[in-house]
Chains A and B, each alone.
Chain A
Amino acid sequence: MFRHSTLRYITLALLTSLALFQAFTAAYFGLEVLTEILILAMLVVALDLVAGFGGMVSLCHGALMGVGAYAYTTVSVTLGISPLVAMAGAVALTGAAAWIIGAICSRSHGIYFIMATLAFGQMAYSWVFEAPIFGGDDGLGGIPRLDLGFLGIDLNDSRSFALFCLAALGAVYGAAVLILRSGLGRSLSGVMHNEQRMRALGLTVWRVKADVFGLSGMIAGLAGALAAQHIMYISPGLLAWTVSGEALVVVILGGLGTLVGPLVGAAAFVLLKHELSAITTYWHLVVGLVLIGVVMSRANGIFGWIEARWGARLDRRLADATRKSAPEEVLNDA
C-alpha cells in the first residue's frame, strides 16, 4: 500500500519547483535536458509500478515506449491523422500490447519473467527493424507535435514543450498513485507478497498482473508518444533492450518501490550522463561503477538511502521524546 510520507511530499515539492525553475530560466540545451529527464521519469514511474509494487521486473518497458513512439508516428505521419488522436491511439495500443504480454508472462517469476519480457521486447525490436513501413534502421522523421493552438500554446517552442511534459508527468504520477491506492493496487501488493495466499482468497492473479501491466504499458506508451514528439524522429534503437536495462538501472538507482525515488533517479542519471559524456567518451565506465557502488551500499537506491537516514533520525528523536507517539504514516513507510 503506497503512502506519501512527509519526506516524499517534501521531495516532490522540491523536484517540481526545481523543474519549474529550470523550465523558466534554462537556455536551450538546459530545456532539452529537462525534457529528456521528464520523459525518462514517466517511463521509470511506469516501470516502478510493475517492478516495485508488483514484483514484475520487466525488461520490455523500453520496447513498450518504442511501440508508443512508432504507433504515434505511424498514425500521425503515415496515416496523416491528427496528433491528438494519434496520441490516444498510441496509448491505447501500447496498453493493449502490454496487457497481452502481462497476461502471457503472469505465470513466470523471477528471472524467467525478466527473460519472457525480454523476448517480447526483442520481438518488437526485430520486427520494427525489418519492416519497411517503419523505415527500418534509418527510422522515420518529420513527426509533428501536438497542436495546442486553441489554448494559445505553441508546443514547437522548447519551453512550452518542456512544461507540457512536466504537466504530463504530473498527471502520470497522480494516475500511478491512484492505481496503487485502488483495489487493484492493493490486490497487486498482496500478490507480490504472497501469491499463493491471494490465489487461495479467490483472486484471479493473472488478471491483476495483466491489468497493472497494461496500465503501466499505457504510461510507457504516453512516454513514447512524447519522446517521438520531442525528438521529432524515431529509430529502432528506441526499442533496444539496453533502453529497458537503463530504465531498470534508473529505478534501482533512485529507489525501487518508492515511486518518488525513480524520479530522483531519472534526474540523477540524465545529469550524470550529460556531465560525464562532456568530459570523457568512457562515461559508461563511470556509470557502471556508480551503479555497482549504489547497489553494493545495500541502500534501496539514492532515495531509499535518504529515507533510511531520515527514518533513523526520526527514531532517535522519538526515543528522546518518550510517550509521544510518532505520526503514523511516517513509521509505516520507513
Chain B
Amino acid sequence: MKRAILAALGLATSLSVPAAATDIKVGLLLPFSGVYAALGNDIEAGFNLGLERFGDQTSAAFEVVREDTEVKPPVALGKAKKLILQDKVDVMVGIVSSGVLGAVRDMVHGAGVPLIVANAGNDEATGAACSPFITRMSFSNGQVNRPMGTWLHGQGVQKVYTLAPDYAAGRQMIDGFVQSFTAAGGEIVGQDFTPFQKTQDFGPYLAQAKASGADAVYVFYAGGEAISFVKQYDSFGLKTDLPLYGSGFLTSALYVDAEGPAAEGVVTALHYVPTIDNPANKAFAEAFTGATGRVPSEYAVHGYDAARALIEATKAGATDRASLANALRKVSFDGPRGTLSIDPATNNLVQPIYVYETVAGADGLTQTVLAELPAEKDPVNGCVMAPVSN
C-alpha cells in the first residue's frame, strides 16, 4: 500500500544508487497496471531486494529505470524502444506476459541489449525464437509441467481430464504434461480449453470432467481465473472423488489466501514454493516478508534471482551490453530455488521442480513440499544460438 501511494505520487519512478566504479543502467519493464499488476509489483519487490542483498558483492552500481507495459504488447514495445534508444540502458529485466516478450524480442535481439526474462514462459522464447541476448531466469511452460506427468503416473493415477484457458500458455502447459503423462503410460480421457478471461462459470466444464470417468483432473489456471476455478471446484465437492492436480500457479502464494480452504489438499508442481527448506530460501522469505508483509511468490523469486544473476555477471567482469549478454549466459548459483544454471543451448534456466500440497497452517494456508524432481534441460526446440561478438 505504501508503495502504491509512492507510485501514485510519482516518487517511485526511479531508484538511483550513488555512482561507483561501473554504472550499469537497468531498464525494468513490467506491468504495473492491468491484469498482471500484482505480478509486476512482486517481481519489482523481489528485484529490489536482490539488489539490496547482493549489491555489496560487486563494485558495479545499478541505476534502475522502470516502465509500465500495461500488459499491452504495442505499449511494451514502445517502452522497450525508449529504454534502449533514449535511456540507453545496459540491460533490461522483466516481461510478464508471453505476448509482450514476443513483441520486444526482435527489438532486443536487433539492438543487442541483454534481456533477463523475469516471468514470461512461452517455450519459443528459448526455442525457435531464442537469442543470445535473451536469458530466462523464470521458467518455461513445458519445463514446469513435464516432470509432473511422470510423477503423477508414478502415484498410480491412470486416467486424467485436463482443463486450461484457451491461449498459447494454457496449451503449452497442458501439452507439456500430456506428453510425459502419456509417455509414462497414462491416458487422457478428455480435454477442455475454456475461453480465456471470459469464463465466469466453470460449472459446465466441471460437470463434464466429473462425467468423464477420470481418476484426477490436471489444470493450469492463473490469477483471477485460478481463484474462481479452485473455489468452484471445491464447491461442487469434487476434491474428494476427483483429486485436483495442476501447474503450481494454480495455488500460487500470491493468491492462495483469496482461495481459502478451497485450496487445501490441491497438489501442484512449480519451480518455487515459499516453504522450500534451504538456508537461501529461509533468508529470502524472511527478508521479503519483512519488506512487504507478504509471503514471497514465484514471481518475487524471479525478480530476486534476476537481480542476483545481474550481480553475478558484473562480478565476472561484465560492463556493457555485449559482455553482460555473454556473462549472463554463464551464470550459475545456489538460490532459494536450489541450484540454478543456464543451459547454453537455449539460454533457459535449468532448475528443480517441486511438487507441493497446499495445507492449512498455523496462520492461514501454507505449502508442504512432497517431492523435489531433478532439474532437466528443456529440449532445444529448434533454437540455433548465435554467439555474441564482443
Contacts and interface: CB of A to CB of B under 8 A. Distances in A.
B379 interface: no
Interface string A222-262: 00000100011101011000000000000000000000000
A141 B106 contact: yes
Interface in A18-55: 27-29, 32, 36
Interface in B46-97: 68, 70, 72-74, 77-78, 81-82, 85-86
Given A278-B13, A280-B10, 12 more contacts: A29-B86, A32-B78, A36-B78, A136-B168, A137-B98, A142-B106, A231-B74, A233-B77, A233-B103, A237-B74, A238-B74, A282-B8
A71 B342 CA distance: 39
A251 B379 CA distance: 50
A139 interface: yes
Interface string A108-145: 00000000000000000010011000011111011000
Nearest to A36: B78
B106 A233 contact: yes
A137 B13 contact: no
A281 B34 CA distance: 10
A232 B169 CA distance: 22
B168 A231 contact: no
A180 B281 CA distance: 68
Nearest to A142: B106
A137 B167 contact: yes
B99 A139 contact: yes
Nearest to B103: A233
Contacts of B8: 280-282
Contacts of A196: none
Nearest to A140: B102
A137 B166 CA distance: 9
A243 to B, nearest CB: 10
Given A32-B82, A279-B13, A232 B99 contact: no
B105 interface: yes
Contacts of A313: none
B10 A233 contact: no
B102 A233 contact: yes
B122 interface: yes
A17 interface: no
Interface in A273-328: 277-284
B288 interface: no
Given A32-B81, A235-B73, A237-B74, A280 B196 contact: no
Contacts of A237: 72-74, 99
Contacts of A139: 73, 99, 102-103
**Smallest CB-CB A-B distances: 3 pairs:** A137-B167, A281-B32, A28-B85
Contacts of B105: 141
Nearest to B106: A141
A138 B98 contact: yes
A19 B363 CA distance: 60
Contacts of A280: 7-10
A137 B103 contact: no
Interface of A: 27-29, 32, 36, 126, 129-130, 135-139, 141-142, 227, 231-233, 235, 237-238, 277-284
Contacts of A283: 33
Contact of B99 (A36, A137, A278): A137
A127 to B, nearest CB: 12
A129 B8 CA distance: 33
Interface in B328-386: none
Nearest to A283: B33
A279 B10 contact: yes
A35 to B, nearest CB: 10
A231 B104 CA distance: 9
Nearest to A227: B74
B167 A231 contact: no
Given A32-B81, A282-B8, A138 B106 contact: no
A21 B37 CA distance: 37
B33 A282 contact: yes
Contact of A277 (B68, B103, B168): B68
B213 interface: no
B196 A137 contact: yes
Contacts of B7: 280-282
A8 to B, nearest CB: 31
A139 B167 CA distance: 11
Contacts of B195: 126
Residue among B70, B73, B85 with the highest chain A CB neighbour number at 10 A: B73
Interface in B254-278: none
Interface string B95-122: 0001100110110000000000000001
Nearest to A230: B74
Contacts of A32: 78, 81-82
Nearest to A143: B106
Contacts of B169: 137
A126 B122 CA distance: 21
A61 B78 CA distance: 22
Contacts of B10: 279-280
A284 B75 CA distance: 14
Interface string B25-36: 000000011000
Nearest to A33: B78
B175 to A, nearest CB: 13
A13 B56 CA distance: 57
A281 B78 CA distance: 16
